[in-house]
Amino acid sequence: VLAGLYNPGDGHIDPYSLTMALAAGARKYGAQLNYPVQVTNLNSRSDGTWEVETPLGIIQAKRIVNTAGFWARDIGKMIGLQHPLIPVHHQYVVTSTIPEVKALKTELPVIRDLEGSYYLRQERDGLLFGPYESEEKMKLQDSWVTNGVPPGFGKELFESDLDRIMEHIEAAMEMVPVLKKADIVNTIAGPITYSPDILPMVGPHQGVRNYWVAIGFGYGIIHAGGIGKYLSDWILEGEPLFDLIELDPNRYGKWTTTEYTAAKARESYGFNNIVGYPKEERFAGRPTERTSGLYDLLKSKCSMGFHAGWEQPHWFYKPGDETGYKPSFRRTNWFDPVGREYKQVMEKVGVIDLSPFGKFKVKGTDSVKLLDHLFANVVPKVGSTNISHMLTPRGKVYAELTVSQLYPREFMLVTGSGSELHDLRWIEDKVMRGGYKVEIENMTDEMGVLGVAGPYARQVLQKLTNEDLSDGSFKFLQSRHLKLSDITVTAIRISYTGELGWELYHRKEDSVALYSAIMEAGQKEGIDNFGTYALNALRLEKGFRAWGAEMNCDTNPLEAGLEYFVKINK
The domain spanning residue 92 has which CATH number?
A: 3.30.9.10
* Greatest distance between any 2 Cα atoms in the chain: 88
Q: What is residue 459's predicted lDDT score, i.e. its pLDDT?
A: 98
Whether residue 45 is found in the same domain as residue 100: no
Residue range 384-420, pLDDT digits in tens? 999 999 999 999 999 999 999 999 999 999 999 999 9
In a domain, 262, yes or no: no
Whether residue 449 is found in the same domain as residue 514: yes
CATH code of the domain containing 215:
3.50.50.60
For the purposes of burial, counting CB atoms within 10 Å of the CB of 445, is it exposed (0-12), middle (13-18) or buried (19 or more)?
buried
Whether residue 536 is found in the same domain as residue 417: yes
Whether residue 157 is found in the same domain as residue 232: no
Residue range 155-198, pLDDT digits in tens? 788 988 889 999 999 999 999 999 998 999 999 999 999 999 99
Question: Quick one: pLDDT band at residue 11, thresholds 50, 70, 90?
Answer: confident
Q: What is residue 273's predicted lDDT score, i.e. its pLDDT?
A: 86
Residue range 247-294, pLDDT digits in tens? 999 999 999 999 999 999 999 998 888 889 999 999 999 999 999 999
In a domain, 28, yes or no: yes
For the chain, the helix, strand and coil percentages under 3-state DSSP, each to the nearest 5:
30, 25, 45
Q: What is residue 45's predicted lDDT score, i.e. its pLDDT?
A: 95
* CB-CB contact of 192 with 218 (8 Å): yes
Q: What is residue 3's predicted lDDT score, i.e. its pLDDT?
A: 86
Q: Is the pLDDT of residue 303 over 90?
A: yes
Q: Is the pLDDT of residue 8 over 90?
A: no
Q: How many CA atoms does the CB half-sphere of 387 hold within 13 Å?
A: 18
Whether residue 50 is found in the same domain as residue 101: no
Residue range 487-532, pLDDT digits in tens? 999 999 999 999 999 999 999 999 999 999 999 999 999 999 999 9
Whether residue 76 is found in the same domain as residue 210: yes
Secondary structure element (H or E) that encloses residue 490, with its range: strand 487-492
- Structural domain including 154 reads 86-194
In a domain, 453, yes or no: yes
Q: What is residue 49's predicted lDDT score, i.e. its pLDDT?
A: 96
In a domain, 467, yes or no: yes
- Report the chain's mean pLDDT, rounded to a whole number: 95
In a domain, 30, yes or no: yes
CATH code of the domain containing 370:
3.30.70.1400
Residue type, 540: L
Q: What is residue 490's predicted lDDT score, i.e. its pLDDT?
A: 99
3-state SS assignment for residue 55: coil
In a domain, 203, yes or no: yes
Work out the end-to-end distance of the chain between its first and last CA atoms, rounded to an integer number of angstroms: 63
In a domain, 226, yes or no: yes
- Which stretches of 101-176 are assigned E, i.e. beta strand? 111-113, 118-123, 126-131
Whether residue 180 is found in the same domain as residue 206: no
Query: Residue 213's CB: how many other CB atoms inside 10 A?
Result: 26
The length of the chain is 570
Whether residue 76 is found in the same domain as residue 140: no
Question: Quick one: pLDDT band at residue 142, thresholds 50, 70, 90?
Answer: confident
Whether residue 506 is found in the same domain as residue 468: yes
Whether residue 523 is found in the same domain as residue 424: yes
State which of 146, 166, 194 marks the end of a domain.
194
Whether residue 398 is found in the same domain as residue 415: yes
DSSP-assigned states of every residue in 289-349: S---TTHHHHTTTEEEEEETTEEEEEEE--TT---S----SS--TTHHHHHHHHHHHHHS-
Kindly report the pTM of this predicted structure. Answer: 0.93
Whether residue 435 is found in the same domain as residue 458: yes
State which of 151, 171, 194 marks the end of a domain.
194
Cis ω before 249 (30° cut-off from 0)? no
State which of 254, 281, 297 marks the end of a domain.
254
Q: Is the pLDDT of residue 1 over 90?
A: no
Q: How many domains does the chain have?
A: 3
In a domain, 166, yes or no: yes
Q: What is residue 61's predicted lDDT score, i.e. its pLDDT?
A: 96
